[in-house]
Copies of this chain bind each other. A is one copy, B any other.
Amino acid sequence: MAPKMTTSSYAVLALLDLKPWTGYELTHQAQRSLRYAWPKSERLLYSEPKKLVDLGFATTHQEDSGGRTRNVYTITAAGRDALGEWTRTRTQPPRLEIEALLRLLFADHGSREDLLGALDELEMDIGEHHQAIVELMASYLGGGHPFPQRTHLSVLFATFQIEMFKSIERWIEFAREEIDEWSTTQDLGMTPRTETLTRLLAQDQSPVNP
């Protein structure tokens, strides 16, 4: 049986269409550029190009660099065709895994400090990525984009990230203020404040300050 093309396979194939890469470069480049849209492990990123070779969507050859050998992968015509077909298929629904929110949902098993700690951790994780993308944009202004003709795509993508990160950071600040008013994490139930919030949300209004 021929292996199946997954979304991850197409992601790697799309990178190969930009230029040939070694397995090592591919794993690092994919983790840098795709992390916020399609996060995948280094391990998988080493396996995907081999599958593409099996399917005839890429070729591989060994190259010498400083006495060491490494595998270089190049896209084939069939690979380009496959990419073109992929763009016409149905997109998978988004999927957000945020453990800090799971901690919030079950915060009544722990203390206020545990909950605030989980929010701090979320803030730090988001903050790192936020800072990285701002710096990346500054580097683009100096002509630092590795594929200059693709800058319009990277930048539109970056607006999504900045918008997301700012939005999450605003919510964290909001949540901290709410939690500061709580005496405990347990059994508060429908307090007057919670009722106000619920009423707003039921009218599709966000109580988070922009």
Q: List A residues at the B interface (Cβ < 8 Å).
A: 7, 10-11, 14, 17, 33-34, 36-39, 83-84, 86-88, 90-111, 114, 117-118, 121-122, 125-126, 130, 133-134, 137-138, 140-141, 145, 148-160, 162-164, 166-168, 170-171, 174-175, 178-179, 182, 185-191, 194-195, 197-199, 201-204, 206-208, 210
Inter-chain contacts of A141 with B (CB < 8 A)? 195, 198-199, 202
Kindly state the separation between the CA atoms of A117 and B140 in the bound complex, as whole angstroms. Answer: 28
| Chain B, Cβ-Cβ closest to A100 | B91
Select which of B99, B160, B175 is within 8 A of A94 by beta carbon: B99
Q: Give every chain B residue within 8 A of A197 (Cβ-Cβ).
A: 155-156, 159
Q: What DSSP secondary structure best describes chain A's contact surface?
A: helix
CA A188 to CA B199, docked complex, whole Å: 46
Identify the 5 closest CB pairs spanning chains A and B, nearest first. Answer: A87-B110, A37-B101, A137-B202, A14-B106, A137-B201
